Amino acid sequence: MGMIGGGPGAFIGAIHRIAANMDGEIELVCGAFSSDMEKSMQAGASLHLDRDRVYGSYKEMLHHEAGLSANERMDFVSIVTPNHLHFEPAKLALENGFHVVLDKPMTFDLAEAKQLKAIVEKSGKYFCLTHTYTGYPMIKEARQQVLSGKFGAIRKIFVEYPQGWLSEFVEGTGNKQAGWRTDPAKSGAAGAMGDIGTHAFNLAEYVSGLQVTQVCADLYRVVEGRKLDDDGAVLLKFNNGASGVLIATQVAAGEENNITIKLFGEKGGLVWKQEDANSLFIKWPGKPTEIWRAGENYLSSVAKHNCRTPAGHPEGYLEAFANHYRNFALCIKAGMTGEKPREEWLDFPGIEEGLRGMMFIESVIENNRSDKKWIEIK
Amino acid sequence: MGMIGGGPGAFIGAIHRIAANMDGEIELVCGAFSSDMEKSMQAGASLHLDRDRVYGSYKEMLHHEAGLSANERMDFVSIVTPNHLHFEPAKLALENGFHVVLDKPMTFDLAEAKQLKAIVEKSGKYFCLTHTYTGYPMIKEARQQVLSGKFGAIRKIFVEYPQGWLSEFVEGTGNKQAGWRTDPAKSGAAGAMGDIGTHAFNLAEYVSGLQVTQVCADLYRVVEGRKLDDDGAVLLKFNNGASGVLIATQVAAGEENNITIKLFGEKGGLVWKQEDANSLFIKWPGKPTEIWRAGENYLSSVAKHNCRTPAGHPEGYLEAFANHYRNFALCIKAGMTGEKPREEWLDFPGIEEGLRGMMFIESVIENNRSDKKWIEIK
Amino acid sequence: MGMIGGGPGAFIGAIHRIAANMDGEIELVCGAFSSDMEKSMQAGASLHLDRDRVYGSYKEMLHHEAGLSANERMDFVSIVTPNHLHFEPAKLALENGFHVVLDKPMTFDLAEAKQLKAIVEKSGKYFCLTHTYTGYPMIKEARQQVLSGKFGAIRKIFVEYPQGWLSEFVEGTGNKQAGWRTDPAKSGAAGAMGDIGTHAFNLAEYVSGLQVTQVCADLYRVVEGRKLDDDGAVLLKFNNGASGVLIATQVAAGEENNITIKLFGEKGGLVWKQEDANSLFIKWPGKPTEIWRAGENYLSSVAKHNCRTPAGHPEGYLEAFANHYRNFALCIKAGMTGEKPREEWLDFPGIEEGLRGMMFIESVIENNRSDKKWIEIK
Amino acid sequence: MGMIGGGPGAFIGAIHRIAANMDGEIELVCGAFSSDMEKSMQAGASLHLDRDRVYGSYKEMLHHEAGLSANERMDFVSIVTPNHLHFEPAKLALENGFHVVLDKPMTFDLAEAKQLKAIVEKSGKYFCLTHTYTGYPMIKEARQQVLSGKFGAIRKIFVEYPQGWLSEFVEGTGNKQAGWRTDPAKSGAAGAMGDIGTHAFNLAEYVSGLQVTQVCADLYRVVEGRKLDDDGAVLLKFNNGASGVLIATQVAAGEENNITIKLFGEKGGLVWKQEDANSLFIKWPGKPTEIWRAGENYLSSVAKHNCRTPAGHPEGYLEAFANHYRNFALCIKAGMTGEKPREEWLDFPGIEEGLRGMMFIESVIENNRSDKKWIEIK
């Protein structure tokens, strides 16, 4: 693979590289890690890349790689830049025949997202949007159980994503991560709702197999001087009549990264918390709660496909991330050999999830400005 | 004490009696347990009461007891009837010079609540509304810590109260508890919001020391045929600029009684869950989370006053309930001896909390019918 | 009931009184709370007793109460003195026709225990030894599940009881509780093993339905200057071939009262922790772990009989304690009415459990002095 | 790196490869995956190795690789065969100038371990024994806190390692993992004590910084027909006067892999459970328990060096394993560049830990046969 972004000081680039490395099936062969050629070279050197596969711009890289022979050039590109630098490189990569992994939220705004969707569809290439949390095996298990109908019709979906790291005005202290995430020119219209709200939204739709149709949003810029929302709650209506609540805040001082989903159907429900990611709690009226565990043989085949170790050997965030890369790579590899990709390989978030996320952001931002209670997501 | 309601088949009456008994300071001396004299006598017999102190109506009881000599008659009355039978007996008791313990929500509607407030104030009697959850020592500790200012200004308050016992149409099966709670003629305008939403609301205001000023409500009658809301979420705005979310549902199939509060200020936050009631989690950015525990010597004096056992000997729901009774009784006793009641004795929910609860119910019901996002609580 | 011991400054006396009060079926009518008449009167007054039912010695009390008419005198006596003052009052009470509740460990030594057994058997009176932890509903459920055979033959039993309150030489600071518990003249041959090791031992035998046959003990006096063991571990062999480990320590600095049992059979196992007393974890190979919860309708009738509140309303230590009192009282009451006591009423620890505890103490103390690995319990 | 063992059907070989891959610093370049050349080739192909770097025996591989030029040949070898096949390949690798990673327990018996120690010392090569659990960042933090003296002198160390996967006679069903682990010809003198007891032993000595001096062992072959111990408990005495208990069982039906350590000093203690690996509980008398969390900035530099993600993004077993590989590789790399390895890089288990483990095994086996309570470890 090749990488765009992820140079010195970046957080998510390193995570992508570990996730891609993990299973020994993906090799980083080139990168445009920074628009500053020197920084890009520095990153490339520390990653043991050939100097002539390190580039000073994504354009140069995509152009040059496209000119290499099929067995020499990268098979796909991973784009890990801030939101405002997602669309152009993704477009160019797809148009040059590369599969694309893209960090979330998908684009700067909904218009770009719609364009990108058309481009992906036209390209026929694989496209993966790294909503990490749906890579966890117990989230895949949760979805399988919901889809199986064992809970009956789903009635309630609660997702919350509390973080505390933006409790103070850290963007004023030179914190690079905080800097672009709170800057409307780089993040887009939403702050916390874009950065982590979209994760929660994706989790809700993925696990439930449903779609949000209406939202009622209440967003805040809690920290003085901040330019984007850092906190908010959204009431949700789903396309089957279910309802729910989404909470996304980055000012829950003392919280780390405690994304959680609780879902209830007519007959029972489930609870999953990322901080105890290897357990899925299944709840029943009149019967003991069950703790389903990653790595166990009784899981669905989809969940088991996404486990690397036996039960009791905890897998974490990096493994969840790696699952998206592995499934994406398995699909590409199948494409090379003419094999039909298996259903569990195709189970990674893609262009549709990305578009839904951008629709969510725009609806929430619009409704938040309004006195009207509800707005349609579209 | 005397009791009104709580005859055969009642749930909360028995709980009140255990709570009152626990510390050996309160003796049940009379009761009008049912409007059916035979059932009332049956209850009285099983409770070892003198037959002539068992009554067939609250009017008879209050009249008769008021005529007894001061050292013979009951000191206070505990009213544990359904909501529509709260106001009249409470009024009569207060007017006859008895202190009153009343189950929540306080009255059938807000108009009654306002009237009752005037009556209580005029009477000069003690009035306790049994919002059980604020009787827990770690909730009292939580409030003390918030009031101390250690978290800075409070920014976010999340309360949720999920139950699952109304996931099916149990009121159709003769379930007495479900019957009156889902009957608008007995419960009032609200179902889940009145029954458990008011608990969550009270918890939020008690722990934060703040008042909710505006709500945005989204209520549902999830189970077909049900006459009152059995589920809902409410966005909250507080009088200091903080915001929050309140969730109250009785259709979270598989949940028992998992009332929870999470509160965050500028500098840190706290989490408490009733199902782990003896622990209070205090969270800090950049420092380890702390688990404060009931019974420990390092707690505030208010919290310690409400513990009976050393740390590691869990106290539960009945002890929390008993704390309200004990504090109420200590105040009455102080009144008898002319002693000034200590501040921690006065710390039980009363007429003001009851009125706030009724204001919450009416606002939520009204806003739920509206397309407008927010409504003032008043 | 009457009480012997439990005067000012005592801990366990107050606990016994709350436990006895809780269900409104037992009334404290007399007491010899201290051998200092003034202190006894002071305790009696604060407990609202008639002055002429407060005594300065247990002998005076038992003599005087025995002389009262049947419907006037106490029905049973609760003895809450330190260990060296258990035997004589218990003997005298039984010989005077009173049922007896006695705190654990049963006697000062095994010789006394054997004598007491003969006296109890001769008396035909009910005798309850307050091993609190077997009063928890989920411990009763655990026993029922083990006895049902669902786990197959039991293979492993682990019990641990860590406390930290004796981590320092608190007996040197005037701490009354620590004083007598670390004094061989009052506690007997064992410190921690007698005070809390016997609880763990009782829990192991009760839940498993088995008997320990051999022990290998390793005891310590960790804190300098202490006169009795404050820490120890004991390897266990059971009469069905199972084995186990018992840990009892009072120098686990920072632990509160974390008594725990884990038991495994051929087919599955269970885990219970007192600090999460309302949950019982049932473990299966190849199936999800189950969380069985107090108050749920699916529990065994024995467990349900020992619950007061619906699921999700936590019951704690005092309720567990109260269960022993309630069952003991139900048996006495049945005796009065000629009713046959139900099996679940008879399910409280008695003379046999007391004798087993004293056998455990003596075996452990003897083996600890020896180089030989094992000693028979007898 | 090169790999010896880890062919089709092996469990731990795949784990080693993921761990080595994770950080992108180690490349698998050759392997002798099986003594069956065909199987070895099959493994090599699936791992994308050059065919001429896949070997049919470790001897062939070590001989051939040693003959390659310095920048071509592997830098170190990872040996992941069953215990009886550890010594010879490790010896040959070291003698041919390769650094060695070896799975635990180190050798077939203590005699081999002593020999290997001499060989390692003579070779001057790095040697890593993969006791995974000491690779967890919160275990490294635990050790740092103990060594800092904050708990005072350590008094008690409890380690337990319960698994349930050998609850039945699975070695009779063709289970390859169970087959060699229960075969004295392959595993050595100990079963569970060698396989998982040595992990617990290593954890106890690593975290405490102490050495076990005496043991009292009670081992069982619980499952009929089994040839080695599958369960046992060991009382421990440490070189500073502390004592403890080690439990290792593979017949705790329903347990997964729940390795746990609890340690108490004069002033406080700590608890860590692998199934909640990112939390370290620090306990204090008279102060709230603290939850220290992986990824937080307040951790010791050693712990932080072993984290890859910010707090709240759980890292698991594979990351702990990868930490040993990364530190080992950092040391080798430092050796290549003449840099002095940093202290935290040197913090991986090596020959001394391996020798201690074999001493533990032999002492435990010998004492278990004896009626004498204690035996010295040596």
Per-residue model confidence as pLDDT tens digits over D108-162: 999 999 999 999 999 999 999 999 999 999 999 999 999 999 999 999 999 999 9
| Range A272-276 average pLDDT | 97
Question: What residue of D is the nearest CA neighbor of A310?
Answer: D256
Interchain pair B286, D292: CB under 8 A: no
- Nearest-angstrom CA–CA distance, B132 and B19: 10
Number of residues written out for chain B:
378
Per-residue model confidence as pLDDT tens digits over A238-257: 999 999 999 999 999 999 99
pLDDT bucket at D295, cuts 50 / 70 / 90: very high
Q: Please tell me if residue C285 touches chain A, with a CB cutoff of 8 Å.
A: no
Interchain pair D269, C283: CB under 8 A: no
* Average pLDDT, 10 consecutive residues per value, chain C (378 residues): 91 93 94 96 95 96 96 96 96 98 96 98 98 98 98 98 97 91 94 98 98 98 98 98 98 97 98 97 98 98 97 97 98 95 97 98 98 96
Residue D189 pLDDT: 95
Residue D345 pLDDT: 97
pLDDT > 90? residue A11: no
Interchain pair D298, B287: CB under 8 A: yes
Per-residue model confidence as pLDDT tens digits over B195-238: 999 999 999 999 999 999 999 999 999 999 999 999 999 999 99
- Nearest-angstrom CA–CA distance, D215 and D368: 10
Contact present, A285 and B254 (Cβ < 8 Å): yes
Interchain pair D256, A312: CB under 8 A: yes
Share of chain B above pLDDT 70, in %: 100
Interchain pair A309, D15: CB under 8 A: yes
Per-residue model confidence as pLDDT tens digits over B233-270: 999 999 999 999 999 999 999 999 999 999 999 999 99
Contact present, B89 and B108 (Cβ < 8 Å): no
Q: Please tell me if residue C245 touches chain D, with a CB cutoff of 8 Å.
A: yes
Q: Which residues of C fall within a CB distance of 8 Å from B257?
A: 310-313
Interchain pair C218, D243: CB under 8 A: yes
pLDDT > 90? residue D11: no
Q: Which residues of B fall within a CB distance of 8 Å from C175?
A: none
Residue D164 pLDDT: 98
Q: D touches which chains (3+ CB pairs under 8 A)?
A: A, B, C
Per-residue model confidence as pLDDT tens digits over B141-176: 999 999 999 999 999 999 999 999 999 999 999 898
Q: B touches which chains (3+ CB pairs under 8 A)?
A: A, C, D
Q: Which residue has the tokens 């920048």?
A: D71
Q: Please tell me if residue A290 touches chain D, with a CB cutoff of 8 Å.
A: no
Contact present, D281 and D289 (Cβ < 8 Å): yes
- Nearest-angstrom CA–CA distance, C230 and A176: 54
Per-residue model confidence as pLDDT tens digits over D325-364: 999 999 999 999 999 999 999 999 999 999 999 999 999 9
Residue D78 pLDDT: 98
Residue B8 pLDDT: 84
* Selected residues 255-284 of chain B with any CB under 8 Å from a CB in chain D: 282
Q: How far is C163 from chain B (nearest CA, A)?
A: 9
Q: Which residues of A fall within a CB distance of 8 Å from B220?
A: 243
Q: How far is A197 from chain B (nearest CA, A)?
A: 16
**In degrees, to the nearest 5, what angle opens at C-alpha A326 toward C-alphas A320 and A330?**
150
Q: Please tell me if residue A374 touches chain B, with a CB cutoff of 8 Å.
A: yes
Q: Which residues of D fall within a CB distance of 8 Å from C235?
A: 216, 218, 233, 235
Q: Which residues of D fall within a CB distance of 8 Å from A15?
A: 308-309
Helix (H) or strand (E) holding C354: helix C351-368
Helix runs in chain A, H state only: 12-21, 37-46, 58-66, 87-95, 110-123, 137-147, 176-181, 184-187, 192, 198-208, 301-305, 317-337, 351-368
Interchain pair A291, C289: CB under 8 A: yes
* Residue of C273, C287, A290, C280 lying closest to D164 (CA atoms): C287
Q: Which of B288, B292, B298 sits opposite D292 (nearest CB)?
A: B288
Q: Please tell me if residue D162 touches chain C, with a CB cutoff of 8 Å.
A: yes
The pTM (predicted TM-score) of the whole model is 0.97
Q: Please tell me if residue C244 touches chain B, with a CB cutoff of 8 Å.
A: no
Q: Which residues of C fall within a CB distance of 8 Å from D268?
A: 253-254
Q: A107-110: which pairs have CB atoms within 8 A and are 24 or more residues apart?
A: A107/A83, A107/A188, A107/A354, A107/A358, A108/A83, A108/A84, A108/A188, A109/A188, A109/A189, A109/A358, A109/A362, A110/A355, A110/A358, A110/A359, A110/A361, A110/A362
| Range D30-54 average pLDDT | 95
| Range A214-229 average pLDDT | 98
Sheet holding A76-79, edge to edge: A30-32, A2-4, A76-79, A99-102, A127-129
* Residue of C134, C176, C165 lying closest to C353 (CA atoms): C134
C297: amino acid identity, one letter? N
Q: How far is A22 from chain B (nearest CA, A)?
A: 30
Q: Please tell me if residue D298 touches chain B, with a CB cutoff of 8 Å.
A: yes
Interchain pair C22, B17: CB under 8 A: no
- Nearest-angstrom CA–CA distance, A272 and A282: 9
| C-alpha D210: how far from chain center | 18
Q: Please tell me if residue D118 touches chain B, with a CB cutoff of 8 Å.
A: no
pLDDT > 90? residue D9: no
- Nearest-angstrom CA–CA distance, B27 and B21: 7
The beta strands (E) that lie in B222-304 are given as: 231-238, 243-249, 260-265, 269-273, 279-284, 287-293
Question: What residue of B is the nearest CA neighbor of C20?
Answer: B22
Residue A71 pLDDT: 87
pLDDT bucket at A9, cuts 50 / 70 / 90: confident
Question: What residue of B is the nearest CA neighbor of A281?
Answer: B254
Q: Which residue has the tokens 């409307």?
A: A184
